[in-house]
Amino acid sequence: MKKLSISAVAAALLLAGCGDDAAQTITTSTETPASASSSKTLSEVSISNPFFSDYQTPYGIPPFEKIKLAHYKPAFMKGIAEHKAEIEQIANNTAPATFENTIVAMERAGQLLSKVEYVFYNLTSANTSDEMQALSKEMSPLLSSHSDDINLNAKLFARVKSVYDNQERLNLNTAQAKLLKDNYISFTRNGANLNDTQKTTLRSLNEQLSKLSIEFGENALKEVQNFKLVIDKKEDLAGLSDSVIAAAADTAKKQGLEGKWVFTTSRPSFTPFVTYADNRELRQQMFEAYTNVANNDNEFDNKEIVAKMAALRAEKAQLLGYKTHAHYVLEERTAKTPENAYALLNKVWPAAIARAKAEVKDMQALANKQGDNITIAAWDHWYYAEKIRKAKYDLDEELTRPYFSLEATLDGVFYTVNQLFGLTVKERHDLPKYHDDVRTFEVFDKDGSLLGIFLTDHYVRDSKRAGAWMNAYRKQHKVDGKNIKPIIVNVLNYPRPTADQPSLLTFDQASTLFHEFGHALHGLLSDGVYESQTGTAVPRDFVEYPSQVMENWMTEPQVLAKFAKHYQTGEVIPQAMIEKIQAAAQFNQGFGTTEYLAAAYLDLYWHTLETTDLKDTAQFEKAAMAELGLIDEIAPRYRSTYFRHIFSGGYSAGYYSYIWSEQFDADTYDAFKENGIFDQKTAQSFRDNILSQGGTDDALTLFKKFRGRDAKVEPLLKKKGLVVADKASKL
């Protein structure tokens, strides 16, 4: 059965570096405002509603320019009604339950609802508005209730169970058997075996959690929107590059503050500021603003919401027969149990924290040598790390930025997938798009056939939440033998071009472009039958694997030489600079790994609670980090009150997934290095066994088919330059 509401998936593919930003409008300036459209009757809106007929557009891309705010609610309501009727028809079918009339019928049901969800939840992340956020909050309990109506439908479950109990007679293929199993388990995990009183309780818990999740995200979004560091003295910009200063001036101008400079807590603004700004007091101000999002005891404070959600999740898990929320969630992940997730984190933590402490000592020594007369604090970490990087590797990241223009880096991504899989990417300027920033591409296979449509949305803006992610406006699937092509989107938050230069990326930002296209490949190269199994429909601790693998090619000299060219002179990045980049690859891994692991542990601490008592969020987090042994000079990558991954993004009890996936990534790239980074046999095996398969088979089985064995942790530790401690820490 297709999962209802893609909102969580949209938020979670965050891809890496998920965050929190803001809002604008869904279409062009010609859109009728919501207040003005209220005079229209429902029938008038319905007649013109683009969701109620086939999209008359190239490749069936949503006709964004025709979709108005007023269209969403009628489409949601009709979609729910149609889906409900289809489910009732399946449940009340008097014919014996079969795979086709029950499992496949459920898979095909709800087409209109899926259609509107794909557009609405993509845009509430990428191009939102206050009105869309309000509608999301309004629809959330309705969708939650509709989902419960299906999951708790006794007649429907009886038919699914009948097929499941008789599957040995059905001669199902691997994908069909997994679809059946997943449907059966989905029902049991969603309360099908509960009594009526328990089902009522479950409905209430689901509704409360749905509302709180949306409120959490809105609060974090508003806090980011509301903070800005306004600088009016040029001397306070000391240390910052011309490109960073120009971007801040551009932001100020758009906010009516011409002649000043504005910095925000969005990553493209925050990171360069705390890395390069010489003014320590301003670095501290930025750091404290970033690490206290939704933690300011105001109307947007999330501490109470965090505590409530953790308690409600624990209650729900126990109602369903699980020890904790983490045990409930990880049952469907490749880790299987929180104990296994902890075990991996515990293998990495001792070496990571030891390296982090050594890095702080190096920073303090540098500060002392320079006569700075300070004690290194958390807001100093990026700043002094960059100075040490320059001294140790003679690598100034700002000097690399001119070689990583957005356009050139995108060319590098396309070159890489051409060399690996024979793909070609052709830009179109006449296809529908939801914002002027969006670019559209056709993606062709090596035989010239169309694989799918790719949209990119690169620049930071107020209508977009922070971070980077991939999603789909349509997933690949097959109906009656016809292959429905995917429509995939990558959304990022890069600095806009200025009057003097294009969008220039840091090395990390360029790497993120490769990462997100790795997710896009997972969607574009999909080759399955059932929509619920295609593309990135894999366990959450496996989904980052293809994207992390993709990052590896960016640092290869052969690839860098093809695309890393100076935006003004066209000069290829010097070999000496490439060597410095490679030498610095393991630099600051103590900090990077430790801040990530701290967040992963924090997530598991919240979700291995066995009590439903409300916690004091601030005290709980403080105690958790003390038990972990996190040093004061490092904050968790995400603190509880703005940890959108786990409280509004679908990653609850799953933030460990990134490093879990890195096991597969490191081991996979070892195979490419063994055989050649563009070895066609290895690339084809990776495509056939991983990228094209989606969730058609067990994820660990798919990896074993590709690699010939289970993944090993040693390549991961070697890649990070971390030494395994003799004895793992006990947490």
Which active-site residues does the annotation give?
Answer: 516
Q: CB within 8 A of 64, min separation 6: which ones?
A: 26, 27, 119, 432, 433, 434
Rounded Cα–Cα distance for residues 114 and 136 (Å) = 15
Instruction: Name the token pair of 231.
Output: 């600088």
Nearest Cα to Cα of residue 356 among 55, 191, 587, 511: 587
- Backbone φ and ψ for 685, nearest 5 degrees, come out as -65, -40
> DSSP string of 636-675?
-SS-GGG-HHHHTSS-TT-TTHHHHHHHHHHHHHHHHHHH
Residue 97 zone, left/alpha/beta (φ > 0; ψ -120 to 50; rest): beta
Tokens encoding 17? 């570096």
Contact 548, 384 (CB under 8 A): no
Whole-angstrom Cα distance, residue 492 to residue 502?
16
CA distances from 256 to 230, 253, 261, 482, 495 (A): 12, 5, 11, 53, 19
- Cβ atoms 484, 474 nearer than 8 A: yes
Among the listed residues 334, 332, 172, 178, the one whose alpha carbon sits nearest the alpha carbon of residue 696: 178
Amino acid at 652: S
Which helix (H) or strand (E) segment holds residue 454: the answer is: strand 450-459
Q: What is the DSSP letter of 688?
A: I
- Dihedral sign for Cα 255, 260, 266, 269, please: positive
Residue-wise DSSP of 333-372:
SSS-SHHHHHHHHHHHHHHHHHHHHHHHHHHHHHHHHTT-
For the residues of 469-496, what is the DSSP string, one character each? EEEEEE--EEETTEEEPPEEEEEEEEPP
Contact between 102 and 163 under an 8 Å Cβ cutoff? The reply is yes
The neighbour count for residue 105, using CB atoms within 10 Å, is 18
User: How many CB atoms are located within 10 Å of the residue 489 CB?
Assistant: 24
CA–CA separation, 153 vs 160, rounded Å? Answer: 11
Residue 667: CB atoms within 10 A of its CB come to 23
Q: CB–CB of 500/391 below 8 Å?
A: no
DSSP bridge partners of 450 = 444
The H-or-E segment that residue 59 falls in is: none
Could you give the CA distance from residue 322 to residue 333 in angstroms, rounded to a whole number?
15
What kind and span of H or E run contains 597?
A: helix 589-607
Q: Are 81 and 105 in contact (CB under 8 A)?
A: no
